[in-house]
Amino acid sequence: MDFIKDQDNDVVSVKDGMYLLKELDSAHDDLVGPCLVSEEDYNQLVRLSSTLLADHGGSHDMEHAMRVCRNANKIMSQQYKSAFDQSQTLREYWLVLTACCLLHDAIDSKYIGKGSERYAAVVQMLRDGLHPIGLTTSQVDGAISVCENMSYSNSTAKSTEELAPFGLVRDILRDADRLDAMGAVGIGRCFMYSGESGGSLEEARRHFDIKLVKLYATLVTPAAREVGQRLHDRLIAFMKEFDDECGF
């Protein structure tokens, strides 16, 4: 992935700019308007994400956030009409979705305990960083709530209806994130995270059964399910080869 840096070597943009309108399929240009997420807002989100994910390790780093952005961008591009209702403009949906994609792991329970002083500090950093890009207080609250209610391990996650008007944002983000936990990339991330957390090869393999093979069944958007079937098949094929070699 090609990062563009300023003279101080800080990340200011991403070359493949997943959320800039110029990167969308040209067929949607006349439907979604000239600028859904400005380059300035996008770059500000990238900088904030780079700061908050700096100590997360390679399995949940900035590149993961960018891949989630790419996945969500494709899903949203195919389903934008579902998000365009009387209470929210399409641009507002897309801006909140972009923020959530880039920042969702900032408050991941694997790295930060909810209710802790650090959690409160990070949430405040999110609020301070999201208001300047034009999000209202209710939209910032919605973005944070979306990030809090997308984890696979969160058994008390709110429903799409309970998260209204940003329930669809959560569904798209969650699908986009889970696609990155499937297929070849998901396999690599699983072993990487196991190594980062001091786990063994066998523990990583166990995670396939506990979570990864179950992800496809949880996908709710048609676009994600279409892509996810192929990734799920790759996952199953790898498990068979891995088990054959390791004798599991």
Last residue of a domain, one of 166, 190, 220: 166
The tally of domains found in the chain comes to 2
39 & 108 share domain: yes
pLDDT of residue 155: 64
Whichever domain contains 196, its CATH number is 1.20.58.1910
Q: What percent of the chain has pLDDT over 70?
A: 80
Residues 94 and 207 in one domain: no
Residue 32, pLDDT score: 36
Q: Which of 53, 152, 64, 156 is nearest to 112 (CA)?
A: 53
Residues 24 and 145 in one domain: yes
Determine, yes or no, domain membership for 221: yes
pLDDT of 206: 93
Residue 174 counted as domain residue: no
State whether 99 and 189 are in the same domain.
no
| Domain boundary pick from 136, 166, 196 | 166
Q: How many Cα neighbours within 13 Å face the side chain of 240?
A: 6
Q: Does residue 172 lie in a domain region?
A: no
User: Is residue 30 located within the same domain as residue 71?
Assistant: yes
Say yes or no: 17 and 74 in one domain. Answer: yes
Q: Which two tokens stand for residue 160?
A: 């799409």
pLDDT-derived band at 189, boundaries 50, 70, 90: very high
Q: In b/e form, how buried is each residue of 19-44, taking b as 16+ CB within 10 angstroms?
A: bbbeebeeeeeeebeeebbbeebbbb
**Residue finishing a domain among 166, 199, 225:** 166
In a domain, 173, yes or no: no
pLDDT at 89: 66
Burial class from Cβ neighbours inside 10 Å (0-12, 13-18, 19+) for residue 101 reads buried
Confidence of residue 113 (pLDDT cuts 50, 70, 90): confident
> 77 with 186, same domain?
no
Measured CA to CA, the distance from residue 190 to residue 110 in angstroms comes to 14
Tell me, yes or no, whether 226 and 160 share the same domain.
no
- Residue 22's Cβ-side half-sphere holds a number of Cα atoms within 13 Å equal to 6
pLDDT at 30: 37
Q: What is the pLDDT of residues 214-244, one digit of tens each?
A: 999 999 999 999 999 999 999 999 999 999 9
Q: Are 63 and 119 members of one domain?
A: yes
Collapse the DSSP code of 168 into the 3-class scheme (helix H, G, I; strand E, B; otherwise coil) and give the result: helix
Which domain, by its residues, includes 191?
181-248
Residues 73 and 12 grouped into a single domain: yes
pLDDT at position 153: 75
Answer with the residue of higher pLDDT: 94 or 18: 94
Task: Write out the two tokens for 50.
Answer: 């780079």
Judge whether 232 lies within some domain. Answer: yes
Same domain (yes/no): 110, 194: no
The tokens for 141 are 């609250």
pLDDT at 82 over 70: no
pLDDT at 22: 36
Whether residue 26 is predicted with pLDDT greater than 70 in this model: the reply is no
Q: Is the pLDDT of residue 2 over 80?
A: no
